Amino acid sequence: MSDPRADRFVRSHLKTRHLVLLVELGRHGSILHAAQAANLTQPAASKLLAELEHALNVQLFERLPRGVVPTWYGEVMIRRAGAALAEMDSAHQEVMELLSGLSGRVSVGTVLTPSAGLVTDAVKLVKQRHPRLQVSVTVDTSKLMTERLRAGELDMVVGRILDSTLANELHFEPLTDEPHSLVAGAGHPLAGRTDLALADLAATPWVLPPAGSILRDRLTSLFLSAGLEPPVETVETLALPVLTSLLIGSHMVAATPEELVRPYLDTGLLVVLPFELGLRMDMYGIITRQRHRLSPGAETMLAALRDVAASRYPQRR
């Protein structure tokens, strides 16, 4: 059962400055620096924090000699405060869009593969339909982007939901999985082999995604399950220009969807090596927040993503 005192405080006395202070405390880990960022004096910031903790009857931050660290309750409040501020910004943007015709801004997060096809084609379609709509595209891991989506910093994400506990917060529209091929630069010594084996690949330099990614874990498992040590001569990157530049003119190989490097395959700069990795990634799709109404601009972007996906992935359900 909720505390009536806390309910009254939240409904009647919680102000924007409380939310801003929470976000800045989470960002800086210091009352002094958070106060400066929020245009408050340190005593005023301390008073606001004390008001929050008193009303909620919990400790939001642990005071340390050199700053503050959010408790579990504090982390919840920081995330919710960030989302609330983002909602207020979105509301202002939506009103401005309705007043001036569809313009405004939409922020999309995406994992690497759809960033080079699905998302860019959707952005082109949006700009054809509404040239004044500003579109921001961020490429990163699903984990980081779903966190930003929950905080209200992104309108939608094309990626994966890796944490099953978020299923009640996020809506997922599946698109496709990602079959991966073994790709190398033209003229690679292994390109002409017809008897290529996993042992050959273990002794080959690789371009790999960072440790902890799904693809990296599955590649490591592939070698270990065959009784082989994973490759030791590696370069880690998520950046497509870096990956392709490393492959071209070197003896490195990489596991990547052909869709992602199609222009390089079509021009002959890269080739697909004759080895079936048998790697398919978990389904990725369009992720939005449940019980959250998108702005007109974001709705337009979502419609464009669906339209492009329908033509690119006709097999999707």
- Mean pLDDT is lowest, of 33-42, 73-82, 275-284, 293-302, for 275-284
Paired sense of beta strands 206-208 and 156-159, if any: unpaired
User: Under CATH, what is the fold of the domain 181-272?
Assistant: D-Maltodextrin-Binding Protein; domain 2 (3.40.190)
Instruction: Pinpoint the residues of the chain covered by CATH 1.10.10.10.
Output: 4-79
Give the three-state DSSP class for 9.
helix
Domain 102-177+283-312 falls under CATH 3.40.190.10: yes
What pLDDT, on a 0 to 100 scale, did the predictor assign at position 264?
A: 94
End-to-end CA distance of the chain: 42
What is the average pLDDT value for the chain, to the nearest integer? 87
Strongest mean pLDDT among 53-62, 90-99, 302-311: 302-311
Tell me the CATH architecture of domain 4-79: Orthogonal Bundle (1.10)
Query: Span 187-198, mean pLDDT?
Result: 89
DSSP 8-37: HHHHHT--HHHHHHHHHHHHHS-HHHHHHH
Length of the chain, please? 317
What are 181's two structure tokens? 């091929």
pLDDT tens-place string over residues 229-271: 999 999 999 888 999 999 998 999 999 988 889 999 999 999 9
What are 28's two structure tokens? 């800086």
Closest to 302 in 3D by CA, of 204, 128, 84, 155? 155
Instruction: Pinpoint the residues of the chain covered by CATH 3.40.190.10.
Output: 102-177+283-312, 181-272
What are 56's two structure tokens? 């909620």
pLDDT confidence bin for 317, thresholds 50/70/90: very low
Closest to 203 in 3D by CA, of 234, 242, 245? 234
Give the whole-angstrom CA distance, residue 181 versus residue 279.
8
- Cβ proximity of 152 and 85 under 8 Å: yes
Tell me the whole-structure pTM to 2 decimals. Answer: 0.59
